[in-house]
């Protein structure tokens, strides 16, 4: 194993998209940011220097951070932000993961532009459990706002209403040929016939789950969230913010210069406003006879362009069918360590709600019925503290920072998938759920559907979990557990709670620290759909969180 060292200079960079130029926060001036490469087992050291005017921290999304919770990155959870002019070295090891993950800013909405891929190769000499691709390409989905995204969320929180939606989706930071004034910013993948390309898909969009398809080509899914799955082949896939997936694309005989669009557009069944546009990138077959490979946009305009057909925007059954196909490899070499016994059961309702109107503009709030939008887990709308939870915990100074009584069950059960309760107000709180080291946890996440059924991609820091069951309607604690898959359930770090339904996950709390869990739709996170687990040290030396690094930022 090696140590991979990176330098991340966080800085302002001027970028033009859709004929508008704005200053965005980037790493090393790149948008999207640089790719971090490592092999499974490698150590990683990233020196993050903040030369921007914003407080920042970087999260290594999906990296397990075994005994390295100080490097996880969410602001006010594991660390105070890195202030302008300061720096912090993130040190961690990649353990038991191989595939694609990603890194992103973890404060306010800065991840809109501060993100990049993490490519994790198997250890040297260890092959993939599928035929090796000829080429590998990160394909990152994102969103672009004409306006400053920090202003977008600040304005929404001030008025209590929903934030402005993005103006375009992006593939590798590029808006593509389907938007006005955008064709020059198109992601283009040049391919040859008869080869296999592995696309390392990452959904870095802020607020949208996305369908993705490549015209006239199939995609074979081999890995999600940096863990192998039993391969299966589809025309279209669905990927939620936070999720990653490696897919194989086999090219075929066609004429030179043939052009196939790859497209992404949102899945949602909310009534509210969302960015209902489509981004395209180009798969272009090389013309072996053409001498210049550098000539851009020389495509022959007489050639037809093939575009894929994506499912209807609210196709919830497509999503359910797709996610049901995901299975762990569960082979002798890559076994699935599904916890068979459960020490603690939790039932969390997740969804939107309201706060009474206060502090709106001119005494009015723009949320539902004149209230402010809020979101909660078990009716607790999480409030970030002003110091970091992990620092407070380690120093034994939790008083006034957080409470340890995060409810294991919702305060008032109701018909989650049917009639909403009369009172939609949620409670503010900074509460954590405490788990002794090694606890085997079963957690059922239920969409409350209070302000309409809605899918929520829930992300857990510090762990992978097994998705043992999912369904629509209310979770039935008597009959549903009998149907759980405890043999080869998919293992991942971000799972969609189905719109109007539930999902059940299991994980073992074998990683001491404070671990954030939240909806990866950034707007829901801003409204409070988040909480934290406090996993206590075990008794053995390798079950204890080491002391913080000396350069850990202070608030």
Q: Which residues bind ligand C2O (CB under 6 A)?
A: 59, 61, 74, 104, 106, 242, 459, 461, 516, 518, 520
As measured in angstroms, the least distance from the Cβ of 197 to ligand C2O is 26
- Closer residue to ligand C2O, CB minimum distance, 185 or 209: 209
Longest dimension (CA), the chain: 72
Q: Measure the CA–CA gap between 349 and 346, rounded to whole angstroms.
A: 10
As measured in angstroms, the least distance from the Cβ of 160 to ligand C2O is 24
As measured in angstroms, the least distance from the Cβ of 41 to ligand C2O is 23
For 87, other C-beta atoms within 10 Å of its C-beta total: 17
Q: Residue 163, SS3?
A: coil
Residue with smallest beta-carbon separation from ligand C2O: 61
- Closer residue to ligand C2O, CB minimum distance, 74 or 429: 74
- Closer residue to ligand C2O, CB minimum distance, 98 or 104: 104
Q: Measure the CA–CA gap between 490 and 473, rounded to whole angstroms.
A: 22
As measured in angstroms, the least distance from the Cβ of 115 to ligand C2O is 9
As measured in angstroms, the least distance from the Cβ of 242 to ligand C2O is 5
- Closer residue to ligand C2O, CB minimum distance, 145 or 516: 516
What torsion, rounded to 10 degrees, do the Cα atoms 99, 118, 524, 10 define?
180
- Closer residue to ligand C2O, CB minimum distance, 66 or 417: 66
Q: Buried b vs exposed e over 11-21: b needs ≥16 C-beta within 10 Å?
A: bebebebbeee
- Closer residue to ligand C2O, CB minimum distance, 161 or 242: 242
DSSP for 337-400? ----S-SEEEEEEEEEEEE---S-BTTB--SGGG-EEEEEETTEEE---SS-HHHHHHTT--TT
- Closer residue to ligand C2O, CB minimum distance, 357 or 383: 383
As measured in angstroms, the least distance from the Cβ of 462 to ligand C2O is 10
Residues 6+ apart with CB under 8 A from 525: 375, 518, 519
- In order of 28, 35, 58, 83, the CA distances from 74 in angstroms are 20, 20, 7, 14
Pair 353, 141: CB distance under 8 Å: no
- Closer residue to ligand C2O, CB minimum distance, 159 or 464: 464
Q: Measure the CA–CA gap between 242 and 100, rounded to whole angstroms.
A: 11
As measured in angstroms, the least distance from the Cβ of 520 to ligand C2O is 6
The separation between the first and the last C-alpha atoms of the chain, rounded to the nearest angstrom, is 34
As measured in angstroms, the least distance from the Cβ of 443 to ligand C2O is 17
* Helical (H) or strand (E) element with 321: helix 316-324
As measured in angstroms, the least distance from the Cβ of 77 to ligand C2O is 8
* CA-based nearest residue to 252, from 192, 302, 306, 309: 192
* Helical (H) or strand (E) element with 320: helix 316-324
As measured in angstroms, the least distance from the Cβ of 380 to ligand C2O is 17
As measured in angstroms, the least distance from the Cβ of 384 to ligand C2O is 12
Q: Measure the CA–CA gap between 82 and 55, rounded to whole angstroms.
A: 6
Q: Residue 482, SS3?
A: helix
- Closer residue to ligand C2O, CB minimum distance, 259 or 433: 433
Q: Measure the CA–CA gap between 76 and 203, rounded to whole angstroms.
A: 24
- Closer residue to ligand C2O, CB minimum distance, 435 or 531: 531
- Closer residue to ligand C2O, CB minimum distance, 102 or 267: 102
- Closer residue to ligand C2O, CB minimum distance, 54 or 516: 516
Sign of CA dihedral 517, 518, 519, 520: negative
Pair 38, 98: CB distance under 8 Å: no
As measured in angstroms, the least distance from the Cβ of 518 to ligand C2O is 6
Pair 42, 97: CB distance under 8 Å: no
């Amino acid at each position: 194993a090696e140590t991979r060292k990176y330098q991340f200079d966080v800085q302002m960079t001027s970028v033009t998209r859709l004929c508008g130029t704005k200053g965005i926060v980037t790493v090393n001036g790149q948008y999207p940011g640089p790719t971090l490469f490592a092999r499974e087992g490698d150590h990683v050291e990233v020196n993050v220097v903040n030369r921007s005017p914003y407080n920042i921290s970087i999260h290594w999304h999906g990296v397990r951070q075994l005994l390295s919770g100080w490097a996880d990155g969410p602001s006010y959870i594991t660390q105070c932000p890195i202030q302008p002019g300061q720096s912090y070295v993130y040190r961690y090891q990649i353990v038991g993961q191989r595939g694609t993950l990603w890194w992103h800013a973890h404060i306010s909405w800065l991840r809109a532009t501060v993100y990049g891929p993490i490519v994790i190769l198997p250890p040297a000499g260890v092959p993939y459990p599928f035929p090796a691709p000829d080429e590998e390409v990160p394909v990152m989905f994102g969103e672009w706002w004409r306006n400053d995204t920090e202003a977008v969320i600040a304005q929404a929180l001030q008025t209590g209403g929903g934030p402005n939606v993005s103006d375009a989706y992006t593939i590798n930071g590029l808006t593509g040929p389907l938007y006005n004034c955008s064709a020059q910013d198109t992601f283009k993948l040049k391919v040859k016939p008869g080869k296999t390309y592995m696309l390392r898909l990452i959904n870095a969009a802020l607020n949208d789950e996305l369908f993705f398809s490549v015209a006239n080509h199939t995609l074979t899914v081999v890995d999600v969230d940096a863990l192998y799955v039993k391969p299966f082949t589809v025309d279209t896939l669905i990927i939620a913010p936070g999720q990653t997936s490696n897919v194989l694309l086999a090219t075929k005989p066609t004429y030179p210069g043939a052009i196939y669009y790859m497209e992404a557009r949102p899945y949602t069944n909310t009534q509210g406003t969302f960015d209902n546009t489509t981004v395209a990138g180009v798969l272009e077959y090389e013309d072996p006879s053409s001498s210049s490979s550098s000539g851009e946009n020389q495509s022959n305009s007489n050639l037809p362009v093939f575009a894929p057909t994506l499912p209807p925007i609210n196709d919830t059954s497509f999503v359910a069918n797709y996610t049901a196909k995901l299975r762990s490899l569960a082979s002798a070499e890559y076994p699935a360590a599904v916890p068979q016994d459960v020490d603690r059961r939790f039932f969390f309702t997740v969804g939107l709600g309201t706060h009474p109107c206060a502090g709106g503009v001119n005494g009015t709030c723009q949320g539902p019925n004149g209230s402010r939008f809020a979101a909660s887990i078990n009716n607790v709308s999480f409030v970030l503290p002003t110091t970091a939870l992990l620092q407070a915990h380690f120093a034994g100074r939790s008083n006034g920072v957080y409470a340890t009584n995060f409810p294991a069950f919702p305060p008032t059960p109701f018909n989650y998938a049917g009639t909403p309760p009369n009172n939609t107000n949620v409670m503010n709180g900074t509460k954590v759920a405490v788990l002794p080291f090694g606890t085997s946890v079963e957690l059922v996440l239920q969409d409350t559907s209070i302000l309409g059924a809605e899918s929520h991609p829930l992300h857990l820091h510090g762990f992978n979990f097994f998705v043992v069951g999912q369904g629509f309607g209310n979770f039935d604690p008597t009959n549903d557990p009998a149907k759980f898959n405890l043999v080869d359930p998919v293992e991942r770090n971000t799972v969609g709670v189905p719109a109007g339904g539930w999902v059940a996950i299991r994980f073992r709390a074998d990683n001491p620290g404070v671990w954030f869990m939240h909806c990866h739709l950034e707007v829901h996170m801003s409204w409070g759909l988040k909480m934290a687990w406090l996993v206590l040290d075990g008794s053995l030396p390798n079950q204890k969180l080491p002391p913080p690094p000396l350069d850990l930022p202070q608030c």
